[in-house]
Amino acid sequence: MYIYDNYDQRIVDERVAQFKEQTERYLAGGLTEEQFLPLRLQNGLYVQRYAPMLRVAVPYGLLSSTQVRKLAHIARTYDKGYAHISTRTNVQYNWPELKDVPEILAELASVQMHAIQTSGNCIRNTTTDQFAGVTPNELVDARPYCEIIRQWSTFHPEFAFLPRKFKIAVNSHLSDDRSATMLHDIGIKIVKNDQGEIGFAVYVGGGLGRTPIVASLVKEFLPEKDLLTYLDAVLRVYNLNGRRDNKYKARIKILVKALGVEAFAEKVDAEWQHLKDGPGTLTQEEIDRIKGHFTAPDYEKLTASNSLKEQLAENKAFSNWYKRNVSEHKIEGYAIVTLTLKKLGTPPGDITDKQLDVVADLADRYSFGEVRNTHEQNIVLADVKQDELFALWQEAKAAGFATPNLGLLTDMICCPGGDFCALANAKSIPVAEALQAKFDDLDYLHDLGEIDLNISGCMNACGHHHIGHIGILGVDKKGEEFYQVSLGGDSGPDATIGKILGPSFAREQMPEVIEKVLAIYVDQRIEGERFIDTYRRVGHSIFKERVYAKSN
């Protein structure tokens, strides 16, 4: 993984000292609320319903076991004993005290972590596939490009005060997309041209929230060396033309829509002419330097495991877990393991200090001391020997994160909603819990197959409800909490925004409504068809009619 050099460490340490002083001045009354606001946002600090929320940056989701132990220590010492994995693969703390935040940041800096640019109108954490570098089905490892973007974007003087926040994702998978790339301000798909050269297809103007939009292609093939100059050009066009008069119309997606994608792409190209081949051009040396941080760990020469075959045949629970939560690795004899944070009774993405310590230990013993956070709010151990899967499974099970439901209905994305978030229209965690409780039969879940169910507590869409195959949105009706259901959303390469089913429902109706939706799918599906494929084939209206039918 990327290790800070002296320069990286110095800027992070300086920022810690600066924020400590700013917080002290604020607490002593020397800075007003208004003056303190941009300062705290630049350091990942929101003020929430009950306490501040601190968002810690986890570049492209990658963490060392030392960093995970530090996160556990922070959860234990400064929070209520847990942390939360977010859909941008960051870590959030919901209960720190403001006076402790400078100390937390100092603790983070001691393990090369920080909260810089995790909020505010700047370029946020760049995300990618959690299987990058280890899946057999990718063009190249996307992480070095994410790191290049991270170094370019952190403290970029021109883009510190953009019209709104700005999110970038990079995907290199040949057929899948695990980081919702098409729903980003800039989505970068790594591609190869006819000459066999690596480059990027650049998509701009995706995003969720109030106006959900799938990104549009603005550059079919951008050569590798031009990555940063082209991104500079896109950001400049946005910085100059993005709306600052209306917060809700400020994202780049609104600009792309207003101008039309061709006119937008022309503007970017015109801007790019000043920058192309300039000092921002990537040299091969620089690309190689960054790639040097992502070399393969010390893999042993292994063959496919025989003991694994026996263990799978003998133990049904283990084989269920293996089928769902273990993925193919590019190196023979190894496997990728996803630890699911979706246990019944636990808010999706929540992890306790004790569990974080267990994750760190497991990473040390089974996976070269590294873990990865996922967009779906789980944790990955990327390099596990097949021979050791059984032992790992037993330990993971004891710690509560081996529920064999990866990609199934109960592996849902859910934002904190009204339980913690001041912006919520409705609670979302109790809905997640009610659904987890209702659909706790694993055989039924396995039979249903892959379904993305996403829940947000308001239209800001932190829970990505628009792109759930089934989406649930909390809405407020005259002070009462209701829930709107949408169907057909998808975050993959064919990204689609879900369509609203109809009038919203009361909270206690939700399990029954979802049950009806699933029954219609089971009734309509043909052999081997996923929920989303059936929905696309049979159409929206049959779901609408049957869910709202009086006789139901």
Residues that bind ligand SF4 (CB under 6 A): 415-417, 421, 423-424, 456-458, 460-463
Q: Binds 457, which of ligand HEM, ligand SF4, none (CB < 5 to 8 A, cut-off by type)?
A: ligand SF4
Choose one: 234-242, 311-319, 336-344, 414-422; the region binding ligand HEM (CB under 6 A): 414-422
CB atoms within 10 A of CB 245: 7
Please pick, from the candidates 16, 268, 337, 462, the single residue that binds ligand HEM as defined by CB under 6 A.
Answer: 462
Q: How far is the CB of 408 from ligand SF4 (least distance, A)?
A: 23
- At 74, list the tokens: 């922070």
**60 counts as binding ligand HEM under rule CB under 6 A:** no
Q: Does 207 bind ligand HEM (CB under 6 A)?
A: yes
Q: Is 328 helix (H, G, I), strand (E, B) or coil?
A: strand
The CA distance from 165 to 44, in Å, is 12
Give the span between the Cα atoms of 470 and 26, in whole angstroms. Answer: 44
Instruction: Pick the closer one to ligand SF4 by CB: 367 or 486.
Output: 486
Determine how β-strand 216-223 pairs with β-strand 198-204.
antiparallel
Q: Taking the CB of residue 307, how many other CB atoms lie within 10 A of it? A: 12
Give the nearest distance from C-beta 209 to ligand HEM in angstroms.
4
Q: Pick from ligand HEM, ligand SF4, none: which does 454 bind, CB < 5 to 8 A by kind?
A: none
Residue nearest ligand HEM (C-beta atom): 462
Among 69, 88, 236, 342, binds ligand HEM (CB under 6 A): 88
Task: Looking at residues 161 to 190 of the shown chain, list those that interact with ligand HEM (rule: CB under 6 A).
Answer: 183
What burial letters (b/e) apply to 150-159, b meaning 16+ CB within 10 Å? Answer: bbbbbebeeb
The amino acid at residue 482 is: F
Contact status: 451 vs ligand HEM (CB under 6 A): no
| Residue 427 neighbours by CB under 8 Å, 6+ apart | 417, 418, 419, 457, 474, 481, 507
User: Which residues, at least 6 apart from 196, have a Cβ–Cβ distance to it below 8 Å?
Assistant: none
From ligand SF4, ligand HEM, none, interface partner of 46 (C-beta below 5 to 8 A by class): ligand HEM
Residue 86 binding ligand HEM, by CB under 6 A = yes
**Contacts with ligand HEM, 359-398, as mask; x by CB under 6 A:** ----------------------------------------
- Pick 126 or 305: Cβ nearer ligand HEM: 126
Residue 409 CA to residue 448 CA, distance in Å, equals 8
**Given candidates 37, 423, 434, 442, which one binds ligand HEM under the rule CB under 6 A?**
423
* DSSP secondary structure of 212-260: -B--EEEEEEEEGGGHHHHHHHHHHHHHHHS-SS-GGG-SHHHHHHHH-
Q: What count of Cα atoms within 13 Å lies in the side-chain half-sphere of residue 371?
A: 30
Strand pairing category for 127-128 and 186-192: unpaired
Q: Which is nearer to ligand HEM, 95 or 299 (CB)?
A: 95
Per-residue HEC secondary structure of 118-131 comes to CCCCCECCCEECCC
> Of 167 and 385, which has the nearer Cβ to ligand HEM?
167
Rule CB under 6 A: say whether 159 interacts with ligand HEM. no
Q: How far is the CB of 55 from ligand SF4 (least distance, A)?
A: 11
Closest CA to 235 of 266, 273, 200, 204: 204
> Which position among 154, 239, 460, 524 is part of the footprint of ligand HEM (CB under 6 A)?
460
At closest approach, how far in Å is the CB of 491 from ligand SF4? 16
Residues 333-352 that bind ligand HEM (CB under 6 A): 349
Cα separation, 255 vs 243, in Å, equals 8
Nearest distance, CB of residue 374 and ligand HEM, angstroms: 11
Give the shortest CB-226-to-ligand HEM separation in angstroms: 26
CA–CA gap between residue 251 and residue 239 (Å, rounded): 10
- How many residues sit close enough to ligand HEM to count as binding (CB under 6 A)? 22
Nearest approach in angstroms of CB 441 to ligand HEM is 26
- Per CB under 6 A, residues contacting ligand HEM are 46, 48, 53, 84, 86-88, 92, 183, 207-209, 251, 349, 415-416, 420-421, 423, 460-462
